[in-house]
Chain A
């Protein structure tokens, strides 16, 4: 794996180390692959990369996205209606990732991984240039079978911590999580919410008292003001999904809309 300059592509952990050295809070935009179409996805990855994204989370469309709210569900449905497949998504990553500074994290539900076969899946995504993986329906107990094949392929699996997760469990999750720890800011599904719950601050503090790994906060973050608030509370990364997906799908000017929005978010971090 190498970018155009011939240097090896950064892993998720390496990117966080660089950001930490610069005392920066990372911006992680999320988009759904294939919505509105795959060529737009390819362009969007480049636009986000040059507009301030430090890492990019790319969602693989799935028929039953249990952890997603209406915006990302609808995006996945549109992508699947066009017949978007995992291989097509990986082709896009393969063609674009050498031009990106930001490591690409794949977000997929478990059934497509199981369907492909674990080893084959990790080989395919690694070959395409993916560096990280988030599987929202695999809690600690079920993720174990993926850890060894992921490590062998050089893929870091980032695990999620929820507001309901007790401290002893947080420690176990933190120990296994690769790249960073994904703090779900709300009890709920992905989607835009107008206000952050005030308990996010204490959740962050508690989490950071239990681990040295970087913490990214996502679910429900949709405005620069919320991103600034999370940075001030000590987040190492802010993940923004539905707000990007909605802008990108809205009209012809989707790409310029996400460019502006990405720059606005980056400006406050």
Chain B
């Protein structure tokens, strides 16, 4: 077997980054060009948002619950068990809500997009679409990106809320804390900066999930095996990018918003 030269590998990687950047730019630019496929956006919003609802609610609830269980032990040692609402609220809203929801949706939808678009590429359906006078970027990519960004935002808000409810459930039933105290502690601890950070992240993560899924789908080659490869790569890349971007965005926002 002949190994590819480092130059060729570098060229392929640079080309992929360039293609991904172009796809991302087009997906935004197409929002301001006619035709805008509103029906497709709604359909995708239903598939991505409503379809992801059960797992997001389930994971959100139990994340909040386990967060309360884990932190209760430590807080009790310092006599600060009353702060459990604050801890769950800040963790969920600033970090766990956006990241976990993002990774869940990436696993479910980036793979779906890559496999669906990849299958269309290898069966010449994308070429057929172009031949019929439709821009696949407008018809397929932009609706998915718009719907994912929009729906991930609301899914994250929902995940945060059910996470808080999970924390409340544990606090009340297992730790015997007062529900009112939990809620007031949680709500008073959240500042504008926390909520802002928690709402900026899903917008970025939604964009990453959809563009990565569409990119791997639209560039799938090599029949069914190629589609399978594209699907796996889409999930892995989207998940890794979410975690990496999360770190940098957190750093950036903490500096911009002058966190203490």
On whether the two chains bind one another, the answer is no
Using a CB–CB distance below 8 Å, which chain B residues touch chain A?
A: none
Using a CB–CB distance below 8 Å, which chain A residues touch chain B?
A: none
